[in-house]
Amino acid sequence: QVQLVESGGGLVQAGGDLRLSCAASGSFFSFNSMGWYRQAPGKQRELVATIISGGYTSYADTVKGRFTIFRDNAKNMMYLQMNNLIPEDTAVYYCHARVYGLNYWGQGTQVTVSS
């Protein structure tokens, strides 16, 4: 059974930084890919960043150069370092993992960026 628990959200002023964490249970090395998604009020959930086996990463154009996704396999943790936040980054952020063809989601953590 895979469980994902996010933490690290909060309220920050524009230009500030936050680091989101995702604690994963289960066999971490079997996670084919992991990523962060976000959903703003009235909008569809969108992909923010992904990291796959081997450490390859990809980012949405809107966060490139500002956000960094990385994993700590020894701790079964995944992170999203968010720098230079803008109000448009305000959303609920979700941790995602794909394991043997199945999708798993965390409960989400709210990030609010004030102008």
What pLDDT is stored for residue 83 in this prediction? 98
Say if CB 103 and CB 96 are below 8 A apart: yes
Amino acid at 78: M
Give residue 75's Cα distance to chain centre: 16
What pLDDT is stored for residue 29 in this prediction? 66
The Cα–Cα gap between 29 and 114 comes to 37
Q: What is the pLDDT of residues 46-100, one digit of tens each?
A: 999 999 978 899 999 999 999 999 999 889 899 999 999 999 999 999 999 998 8
Strand 10-13 vs strand 18-24: parallel, antiparallel, or unpaired? unpaired
Say if CB 66 and CB 84 are below 8 A apart: yes
Q: What is the pLDDT of residues 29-61, one digit of tens each?
A: 667 799 999 999 999 999 999 999 788 999 999
Lookup: tokens for 107: 């409960």
